[in-house]
């Protein structure tokens, strides 16, 4: 279709997945590269997706007692250094502020790469008694990590995210909150983003700097690579001891608090693209689509067409749908291709003949299925269709995850599974870091997580043959 070419010129996935991703990101108008190396401009079409992600996730946070706040963006070097593992993890990749105005600072500040140290410093001042617990705070902000190689949404020097930081009286409370927030992420990803994930615990090697346990939700992209979509960390009392955060218990003794942190970022937009997109562009799940339905008039200069299109737009808006009307002077074919590229879940085609018959044509983005429908019934029909699309997208993504998750009972099967990147491989592991490192070196795959849903595939580790402790998801990852 020549008109389609005009709009998009998206490289096909099978030809070059990396180029396909870049094409979609740019041509759907999600970002623009900036002149600040490694940083991107999030354009209105991209930012509107982020706003919907924020809305849905923030409502889920508030439903489980999370309160929002805002901490400074700077961390003095001495503060960053208070927790040993943490500073080792982050110091090599932070941006340093050395001058304020015309003066050199007496101590340099880094721009936050994450805010554990700031929240600890804050909690030290706020928490005195068991009555001050729990503290369940979150902030929406940007963070900076001085990455060398960057890709839009997946890895950039500055990115947007939320970071939750909590403090609890007991180890049990902290662990329960850590898992609760992981579940919030998993539910949000499945129900709002239509992205199924594997929930599990990270290995010691892959856990967060300073955590006693890190949990993750891992998603599978179209190209068979994994993407860590969210993480939740249990810190035990490690940070509390480093920062001296104690409370007087009901027993009148001083106790250290137990802490957690958890976060998701604009990376999720990368996952959205790579889980749902196709060769025509973006495919947005209705709950996260800034425009859920676009009305495209056919022969819009013919009498009555624009009136009918405008009336339909108003009726759809009144039904609380997010609607746009494409009344530009482009051809209908161009507009169809643009709707597909931008991933709007439904388009409605409406021309003189349709109007005469009191009909319009609904076209689903995900399946391209066309349905005729009386104009007056369009709002109800579209609302139902959006629900169906949301459900179908999750089912398709789940089917892709299932069909691209392989089982390897031994070394040969493991090797065969990773001869090419096709997806996740479930395999038994002895629990030794040495095997994990050897697997990474030999097959260029990493442990994604140790899933909560364990299976017994064999008695022995696929790497060393010693007795197996866990079943692990392995894969190449973004």
Choose the binding region for a copy of itself from 138-146, 169-177, 302-310, 462-470 (rule: CB under 8 A): 138-146
75 binds a copy of itself per the rule CB under 8 A: yes
Q: Report in angstroms how near the CB of residue 63 gets to a copy of itself at its nearest.
A: 13
126 binds a copy of itself per the rule CB under 8 A: yes
431 binds a copy of itself per the rule CB under 8 A: no
Phi/psi zone of residue 376: left (φ > 0), alpha (ψ -120 to 50 degrees), beta? alpha
Q: Report in angstroms how near the CB of residue 40 gets to a copy of itself at its nearest.
A: 7
Q: Using an 8 Å Cβ cutoff, are 188 and 60 in contact?
A: yes
Give the one residue of 14, 34, 331, 442 binding a copy of itself; rule: CB under 8 A. 34
As a whole number of angstroms, the distance between CA 45 and CA 31 comes to: 8
Choose the binding region for a copy of itself from 152-160, 247-255, 297-305, 418-426 (rule: CB under 8 A): 152-160
For residue 205, give the nearest of 391, 393, 446, 413 by alpha carbon: 446
Contacts of 26 (CB under 8 A, 6+ apart): 32
Widest Cα–Cα separation across the chain: 82
Bridge partners of 370?
Answer: 363
As a whole number of angstroms, the distance between CA 425 and CA 421 comes to: 10
133 binds a copy of itself per the rule CB under 8 A: no
Q: Report in angstroms how near the CB of residue 322 gets to a copy of itself at its nearest.
A: 12
99 binds a copy of itself per the rule CB under 8 A: yes
CB neighbours of residue 252 within 10 Å: 6
Count of residues interacting with a copy of itself (CB under 8 A):
53
Choose the binding region for a copy of itself from 103-111, 272-280, 306-314, 404-412 (rule: CB under 8 A): 103-111
Place of tokens 């928490």: 127
125 binds a copy of itself per the rule CB under 8 A: yes
Give the one residue of 44, 244, 304, 467 binding a copy of itself; rule: CB under 8 A. 44
Cα dihedral 180, 186, 189, 192 sign:
negative
237 binds a copy of itself per the rule CB under 8 A: no
As a whole number of angstroms, the distance between CA 94 and CA 147 comes to: 9
Q: Which residues bind a copy of itself (CB under 8 A)?
A: 32, 34-36, 39-44, 46-48, 50-51, 67-76, 79, 92-102, 108-109, 111, 118, 121-122, 125-126, 137, 141-142, 144, 146, 157-158, 160
């Amino acid at each position: 279709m020549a008109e389609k070419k005009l709009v998009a010129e998206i490289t096909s996935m099978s030809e070059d997945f990396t180029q396909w991703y870049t094409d979609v990101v740019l041509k759907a108008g999600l970002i623009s590269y900036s002149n600040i190396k490694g940083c991107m401009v999030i354009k209105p079409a991209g930012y509107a997706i982020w706003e919907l992600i924020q809305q849905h996730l923030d409502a889920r946070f508030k439903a489980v007692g999370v309160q929002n706040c805002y901490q400074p963006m700077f961390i003095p070097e001495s503060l960053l250094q208070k927790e040993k593992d943490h500073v080792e993890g982050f110091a090599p990749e932070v941006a340093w502020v050395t001058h304020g105005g015309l003066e050199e600072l007496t101590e340099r500040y880094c721009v936050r790469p994450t805010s554990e140290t700031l929240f600890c410093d804050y909690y030290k001042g706020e928490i005195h008694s068991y009555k001050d617990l729990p503290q369940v705070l979150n902030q929406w902000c940007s963070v900076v990590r001085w990455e060398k190689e960057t890709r839009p949404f997946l890895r950039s020097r500055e990115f947007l995210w939320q970071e939750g930081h909590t403090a609890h009286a007991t180890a049990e409370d902290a662990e329960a909150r850590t898992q609760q927030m992981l579940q919030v992420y998993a539910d949000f990803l499945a129900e709002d983003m239509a992205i199924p994930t594997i929930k599990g615990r990270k290995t010691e090697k892959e856990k967060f700097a300073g955590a006693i346990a890190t949990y993750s939700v891992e998603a599978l992209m179209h190209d068979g690579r994994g993407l860590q979509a969210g993480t939740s960390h249990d810190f035990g009392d490690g940070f509390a001891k480093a920062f001296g955060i104690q409370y007087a218990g009901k027993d009148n003794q001083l106790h250290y608090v137990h802490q957690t942190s958890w976060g998701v970022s604009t990376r999720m937009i990368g996952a959205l693209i790579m889980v749902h997109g196709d060769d025509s562009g973006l495919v947005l799940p209705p709950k996260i689509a800034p425009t859920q339905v676009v009305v495209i008039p056919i022969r819009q200069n013919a009498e009555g067409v624009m009136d009918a299109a405008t009336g339909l737009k108003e009726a759809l808006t009144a039904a609380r749908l997010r609607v746009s009307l494409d009344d530009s002077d482009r051809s209908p074919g161009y507009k169809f291709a643009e709707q597909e590229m931008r991933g709007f879940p439904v388009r409605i085609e409406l021309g003189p003949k349709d109007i005469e018959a009191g009909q319009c044509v609904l076209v689903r983005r995900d399946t391209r299925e066309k349905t005729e429908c009386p104009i007056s019934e369009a709002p109800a029909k579209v609302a139902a269709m959006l629900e169906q699309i949301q459900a179908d997208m999750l089912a398709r993504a789940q089917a892709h995850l299932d069909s691209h998750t392989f089982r390897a009972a031994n070394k040969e099967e493991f090797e065969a599974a990773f001869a090419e990147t096709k997806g996740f491989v479930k395999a038994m592991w002895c629990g030794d870091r040495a095997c994990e490192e050897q697997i990474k070196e030999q097959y260029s795959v990493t442990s994604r997580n140790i899933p909560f849903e364990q299976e017994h595939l064999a008695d022995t580790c696929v790497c060393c043959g010693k007795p197996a402790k866990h079943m692990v998801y392995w894969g190449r990852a973004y």
